[in-house]
Amino acid sequence: DVKVTQSSRYLVKRTGEKVFLECVQDMDHENMFWYRQDPGLGLRLIYFSYDVKMKEKGDIPEGYSVSREKKERFSLILESASTNQTSMYLCASSDTGLTSNEKLFFGSGTQLSVL
């Protein structure tokens, strides 16, 4: 089974802190994604990556950056956390190919609270 592991299940940070959310997948997938999930809004794409050292903005990239130095690891960075970034963050991966992007394998999520 594909496993996507997010390093923390719950995280509490203070406004202005730099926050790192880590995600690791074990199936040699090319593509990795970061979403945030908010009640009533579904999932919204923050950033994604189709290759090592490659990144593309999703629908809501403001206030976030990402890093993909190794194929299996995709990090989401909040440069200066704000209260409106309190959310559930979901990492996902998928294999190569346009339609393969459509079957995503998700981690269990990190619930981030910014106080």
Partner 1 sequence: AQSVTQLDSHVSVSEGTPVLLRCNYSSSYSPSLFWYVQHPNKGLQLLLKYTSAATLVKGINGFEAEFKKSETSFHLTKPSAHMSDAAEYFCVVSDSGSGNTGKLIFGQGTTLQVKP
Residue ranges in contact with partner 1 by CB under 8 A: 4, 35, 40-45, 48, 58, 90, 92, 98-99, 101-109
Q: Are 74 and 94 in contact (CB under 8 A)?
A: no
Output 35 or 74, the one with its CB closest to partner 1: 35
DSSP type of residue 27: S
Number of CB atoms found within 10 A of residue 85's CB? 18
Q: How far is the CB of 15 from partner 1 (least distance, A)?
A: 27
Query: What are 44's two structure tokens?
Result: 């919204």
Residue type, position 47, single letter: Y
Those residues whose C-beta lies under 8 Å from the C-beta of residue 66, and which sit 6 or more positions away, are 34, 46, 47, 49, 55, 74, 75, 76, 77
Output 19 or 104, the one with its CB closest to partner 1: 104
Output 41 or 54, the one with its CB closest to partner 1: 41
Output 38 or 79, the one with its CB closest to partner 1: 38
Q: How far is the CB of 80 from partner 1 (least distance, A)?
A: 27
Q: How far is the CB of 98 from partner 1 (least distance, A)?
A: 4
CA distance 37 to 21: 15
Q: How far is the CB of 57 from partner 1 (least distance, A)?
A: 11
